[in-house]
């Protein structure tokens, strides 16, 4: 006698919402893995680009002839008078600090301006360059070296040359020209440079002689 055949019911397909969840989860996992791989591949390149940008900025205020080290990697962190921590980049030759560079900040017509200042061990300016600003194109942006030579006139000057009270635009009784139709921007740059010189004077021993 033949055994009875038992027919089992076919399994029900998973609910549509569950399938959507599985698909979405797989997509998110794949996308996350892709981002992680991309980040791992590009992180070194991004760091290298940042290093190149910093070296380019420093090379404009720390001439190659005064150092045999890499100032980008020879740094010191010190707070300025406003309590803002500055990264000081040191140029050395034969192990002796010949100059330093650091960022300075001023307030222009459109907000904060960031500049890089280079100064030798005697307190003489080697150069000042604008790193970032939001000043009006064709007017306030004349502080950029590619737009004019105004920023170059500070090379070789120091805290006593001219005297401190003369570190202003002529309109305010100082020594330096302002731009036609723009006084706030150059005045902000001068205030930043003067503060940068005062920072050096107040911290010279640590900047020059500190290990």
Alpha-carbon gap, residue 41 to 207, rounded angstroms? 37
Let me know if residue 151 belongs to a domain. Answer: yes
Within-domain flag for 198 = yes
Q: Is the pLDDT of residue 201 over 90?
A: yes
What is residue 43's predicted lDDT score, i.e. its pLDDT? Answer: 47
Query: Domain range for residue 202?
Result: 60-209
In a domain? residue 1: no
In a domain, 125, yes or no: yes
pTM equals 0.76
Q: Is residue 118 part of a domain?
A: yes
Q: CA 144, CA 151: separation in Å to the nearest integer?
A: 7
pLDDT, residue 158, reads: 97
Residue 158 lies in a domain: yes
| Mean pLDDT, the chain, whole residue set | 86
Bridge partners, residue 169, by sequence: 176
**Quick one: three-class SS letters along the chain?**
CCCCCCCCCCCCCCCHHHHHHHHHHHHHHHHHHHHHHHHHHHHHHHHHHHHHHHHHHHHCCCCHHHCCCCHHHCEEEEECCCCCEEEEEEEEECCEEEEEEEEEEEEECCEEEEEEEEEECCCCEEEEEEEECCCCCCCHHHHCCCCCCHHHHHCCCECCECCHHHCCEHHHCCCECCECCECHHHHHHHHHHHHHHHHHHHHHHHHHHCC
Question: What is the arithmetic mean of pLDDT over 164-178?
Answer: 92
Domain count, the chain: 1
In a domain? residue 2: no
Rg of the Cα trace of the chain? 29
User: Which of 38-42, 90-94, 147-151 has the weakest average pLDDT?
Assistant: 38-42
Q: With bands split at pLDDT 50, 70 and 90, how would you rate the model's confidence at 182? A: confident
With respect to residue 73, please indicate whether it lies within any of the assigned structural domains.
yes
Contact indicator for 105, 112 with CB cutoff of 8 Å: yes
């Amino acid at each position: 006698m033949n055994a009875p055949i038992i027919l089992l019911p076919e399994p029900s397909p998973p609910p549509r919402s569950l399938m959507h969840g599985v698909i979405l989860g797989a997509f998110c996992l794949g996308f996350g893995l892709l981002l992680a791989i991309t980040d791992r591949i590009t992180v070194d390149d991004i760091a290298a680009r940042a290093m190149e940008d910093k070296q380019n900025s420093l090379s404009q205020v720390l001439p190659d002839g005064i150092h045999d080290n890499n100032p980008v990697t020879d740094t010191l962190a010190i707070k300025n008078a406003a309590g803002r921590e500055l990264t000081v980049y040191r140029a050395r030759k034969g192990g002796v600090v010949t100059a330093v560079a650091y960022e300075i900040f001023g307030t222009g017509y459109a907000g904060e301006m960031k500049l890089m200042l280079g100064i030798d061990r005697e307190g003489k300016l080697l150069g000042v360059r604008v790193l970032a600003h939001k000043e009006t194109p064709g007017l306030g942006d004349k502080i950029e070296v590619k737009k004019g030579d105004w920023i170059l006139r500070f090379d070789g000057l120091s805290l006593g040359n001219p005297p401190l009270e003369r570190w202003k635009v002529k309109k305010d009784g100082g020594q330096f020209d302002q731009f036609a139709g723009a006084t706030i921007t150059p005045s902000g740059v001068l205030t930043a440079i003067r503060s940068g010189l005062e920072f050096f004077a107040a911290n010279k021993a640590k900047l020059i002689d500190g290990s």
